[in-house]
């Protein structure tokens, strides 16, 4: 993080409000102490995030005294783009990928921190910590800068940028362990509690507001659930669980036999789909 600060002209931290973002932000507070992190947070709001995420976001930014930029793709909003009307692929592309590019272009950020980890998914295992993007924000897996020792090359020309992944070599277990060890606040949705859900394509979807179209006679059911990963509520599956504190979450993880990204609908469109999305500029 300090290397980015020293080499970039206008860095930003992408803040997705999830547990990895919470860890990344905590690390930034440490890295620059006693200074505040000398860059703003950017949240790309798809307008379909869980309400509790948004409350948490605003509260944390205020508590820590860091600058928060919220960007919403207004064109997408005026066209009424959403996961129910347009499907997960179009929604994610317009409200997340395109919206992120808009924000990066608008503020002319030349370096953006992201919380992605190499253990999450096979194509991420090969991405650099300092990941070069051309002026169209594209990632070229065949043409990455060699990254040896801890010598990071963050230099770019005008229009080009870096995505930087400080948590690249952390595993999911590392993240939870660190949250536990450092007592880092996370969105309460990670903890089990009774929540109204409906079942869609085998996934438990939380009825977070009244935009979710219920079928005739369909009644949301109260179940004790939690989320292992957070995103747009219509695309994020809950799991039934009684784990309502960190110790029990970690215990549940240790016996789990289903990996983390299964709760995300977007990974299922073909096994090389994440790599394709990344090349297009998705995180």
Partner 1 sequence: MNSTGSPADIEGYLEDQASKTTLRFLTCGSVDDGKSTLIGRLLYDSKLIFEDQLAALEADSRRQGTQGGEIDLALLVDGLAAEREQGITIDVAYRFFATDKRKFVVADTPGHEQYTRNMATGASNAEAAIILIDARKGVLTQTRRHSYIVSLFGIKEVVLAINKMDLVDYDEKVFARIVDEYRHFAAGLGLTITNIPMSALNGANVMGGSDLMPWYDGPSLLEWLETVDVSGGLDEDPFRMPVQWVNRPNLDFRGFSGTIASGRVEPGLEVQLLPSGARSRVARVVTFDGDLPTAGPGEAVTIVLEDEVDASRGEVICAADDPIDTSDQLAVHILWMDEHELYPGRQYYLKTATKTVPCVVTELKHKINVNTMEHQPARRLELNEVGVGNLSLSDRVAFTRYGNNRELGSFILMDRQSFATVGVGLFDFSLRRAENVVWQALTVDKFSRSEIKHQKPCVIWLTGLSGSGKSTIANVLENRLHDLHRHTYVLDGDNVRHGLNRDLGFTEADRVENIRRVGETAKLMVDAGLITIVSFISPYVTERRMVRDLLEDGEFIEVFVDTPLEICEQRDPKGLYRKARAGEIKNFTGIGSEYQAPENPEYVLSTVDQTAEESAEQLLKFLADRDIVQR
Please say which residue, 62 or 125, places its beta carbon nearer to partner 1.
Answer: 125
Residues in contact with partner 1, counted by CB under 8 A, come to a total of 54
Can you tell me which of 9, 10, 36, 209 binds partner 1, judged by CB under 8 A?
Answer: 36
Instruction: Say if residue 161 is exposed, middle or buried (CB neighbours under 10 Å; 0-12, 13-18, 19+).
Output: buried
Separation CA 82–CA 191 (nearest Å):
27
Tokens of 15: 């803040």
Can you tell me which of 16, 22, 46, 123 binds partner 1, judged by CB under 8 A?
Answer: 123
Within residues 181-200, the interface with partner 1 by CB under 8 A covers 181
Least distance (Å) between residue 115 CB and partner 1: 16
Please say which residue, 157 or 216, places its beta carbon nearer to partner 1.
Answer: 157
Separation CA 173–CA 254 (nearest Å):
8
Residue 242 is a binding residue for partner 1 (CB under 8 A): no
Instruction: Say if residue 24 is exposed, middle or buried (CB neighbours under 10 Å; 0-12, 13-18, 19+).
Output: buried
Q: Reading across the β-sheet that carries 161-164, which strands appear in turn? A: 68-71, 41-44, 11-14, 111-113, 161-164, 130-133
Separation CA 101–CA 282 (nearest Å):
9
Least distance (Å) between residue 93 CB and partner 1: 19
In the shown chain, the binding pattern of residues 134 to 173 toward partner 1, with x for contact by CB under 8 A and - for none, equals -------xx-xxxxxxxx-x-xxx----------xx-x-x
Can you tell me which of 45, 110, 119, 208 binds partner 1, judged by CB under 8 A?
Answer: 119
User: Per DSSP, which regions of the chain are E strands?
Assistant: 11-14, 41-44, 68-71, 111-113, 130-133, 161-164, 193-200, 203-206, 221-226, 237-240
Please say which residue, 2 or 108, places its beta carbon nearer to partner 1.
Answer: 2
Separation CA 131–CA 113 (nearest Å):
10
Least distance (Å) between residue 2 CB and partner 1: 4
In the shown chain, the binding pattern of residues 252 to 281 toward partner 1, with x for contact by CB under 8 A and - for none, equals --xxxxxx--x--------xx--x------
Chain residues binding partner 1 by CB under 8 A are: 2-3, 5-6, 29-36, 118-119, 122-123, 125-126, 141-142, 144-151, 153, 155-157, 168-169, 171, 173, 177, 180-181, 245, 247-248, 250-251, 254-259, 262, 271-272, 275
């Amino acid at each position: 993080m300090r290397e980015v600060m020293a080499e970039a002209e206008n860095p930003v931290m992408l803040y997705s409000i999830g547990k990895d973002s919470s860890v990344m932000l905590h690390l930034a507070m440490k890295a620059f102490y006693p200074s505040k992190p000398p860059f703003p947070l950017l949240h790309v709001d798809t307008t379909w995030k869980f309400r509790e995420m948004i409350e948490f976001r605003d509260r944390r930014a205020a508590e820590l005294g860091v600058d928060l930029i919220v960007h919403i793709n207004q064109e997408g909003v005026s066209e009424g783009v959403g996961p129910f009307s347009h499907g997960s692929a179009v929604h994610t592309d317009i409200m997340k990928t395109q919206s992120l590019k808009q924000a990066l272009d608008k503020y002319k950020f030349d370096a953006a921190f992201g919380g992605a980890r190499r253990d999450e998914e096979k194509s991420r295992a090969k991405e650099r910590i300092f990941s070069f993007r051309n002026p169209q924000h594209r990632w070229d897996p065949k043409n990455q800068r060699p990254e040896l020792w801890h010598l990071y090359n963050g230099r770019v020309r005008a229009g080009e940028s870096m995505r930087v992944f400080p948590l690249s070599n952390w595993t999911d277990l590392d993240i939870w362990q660190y949250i536990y060890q450092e007592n880092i606040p996370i969105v309460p949705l990670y903890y089990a509690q009774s929540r109204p859900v409906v079942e869609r394509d085998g996934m438990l979807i939380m009825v977070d507001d009244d935009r979710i179209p219920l079928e005739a006679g369909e009644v949301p059911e109260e179940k004790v659930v939690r989320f292992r990963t957070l995103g747009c509520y219509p695309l994020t599956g809950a799991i039934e669980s009684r784990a309502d504190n960190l110790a029990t979450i970690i215990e549940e993880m240790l016996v789990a036999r289903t990996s983390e990204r299964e709760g995300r609908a977007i990974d299922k469109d073909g096994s090389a789909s994440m790599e394709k999305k990344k090349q297009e500029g998705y995180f």
